[in-house]
């Protein structure tokens, strides 16, 4: 794919850890989205060091990140952020992260380095259980279905959730 082609494509990145309960939800959504999306959409799973995201999203015109949140909101709450317009609110993607750096910190580092994609949307689903060996909780699964269906219906239109 050429660089100019890359800018017309969308990248959806599911982030998480399959072994940590609700932290797996970004990965689960990414797996569900692998089929049935427009051919101009690429789906990626990120399970390691989030700093690699800067290279992963390089060249894409639009990027969507999906991750678990640990902000103290009700489990299953969906928050959507336009990360180009402003920083992710402090404390949203923290505490429960099994990543080296929080996604919010990685996004701000990318901003400082001039390495953000032209469009960057973050979906954060509030989790409840991040214990090793736990499964994804029902309220987080329900929220995941809403995000997935929205991305399938209108790949560039967010679901009906509060925009922060």
Q: DSSP string spanning 46-87?
A: E-S-GGGHHHHSTT-SEEEEEEEE-SSSPTT-EEEEETTTSP
Measured CA to CA, the distance from residue 61 to residue 125 in angstroms comes to 24
- Residue 81, pLDDT score: 94
Q: Phi, psi (5° rounding) for residue 69?
A: -120, 160
Q: Phi, psi (5° rounding) for residue 96?
A: -90, -10
Sequence-distant (6+) residues with CB within 8 A of 39 are none
pLDDT in tens, 99-108: 567 888 899 9
Candidates 161, 147, 154, 160; CA nearest to 62 is: 154
What is the signed CA dihedral for 96, 33, 55, 51, rounded to 10 degrees?
10
pLDDT in tens, 141-153: 999 999 999 898 8
- Residue 102, pLDDT score: 81
Candidates 26, 35, 12; CA nearest to 141 is: 26
Look-up: residue for tokens 């309960």?
Answer: 21
Q: Phi, psi (5° rounding) for residue 161?
A: -130, 165
Measured CA to CA, the distance from residue 122 to residue 161 in angstroms comes to 12
On whether the CB atoms of residues 81 and 90 are closer than 8 A, the answer is: no
- Residue 125, pLDDT score: 96
Along the 164 residues of the chain, how does pLDDT read in single tens digits? Answer: 444 444 458 999 999 999 999 999 999 999 999 988 878 899 999 997 788 999 999 999 999 999 999 888 999 999 999 999 999 887 776 545 555 678 888 999 999 999 999 999 999 999 999 999 999 999 999 999 999 998 988 654 333 344 44
- Residue 86, pLDDT score: 93
Q: Which CATH superfamily is domain 3-153 in?
A: HybD-like (3.40.50.1450)
- Residue 96, pLDDT score: 55
- Residue 101, pLDDT score: 78
Which pTM value belongs to this model?
A: 0.85
């Amino acid at each position: 794919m050429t660089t100019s082609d890359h800018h017309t494509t969308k990248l959806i990145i599911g982030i998480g850890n399959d072994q940590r309960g609700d932290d797996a939800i970004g990965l689960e959504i990414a797996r569900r989205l692998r089929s049935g999306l427009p051919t101009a959409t690429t789906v990626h799973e990120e399970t390691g060091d989030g700093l690699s995201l800067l290279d992963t999203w390089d060249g894409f015109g639009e990027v969507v990140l999906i991750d678990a949140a640990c902000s103290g909101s009700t489990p299953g709450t969906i928050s959507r952020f336009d990360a180009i317009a402003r920083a992710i609110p402090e404390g949203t993607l923290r505490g429960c992260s099994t990543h080296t750096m929080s996604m919010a910190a990685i996004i701000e580092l990318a901003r400082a380095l001039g390495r953000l994609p032209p469009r960057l949307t973050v979906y954060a689903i509030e989790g409840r259980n991040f214990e090793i060996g736990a499964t994804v909780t029902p309220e987080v699964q329900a929220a995941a279905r809403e995000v997935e269906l929205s991305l399938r219906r209108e790949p560039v239109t967010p679901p009906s959730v509060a925009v922060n």
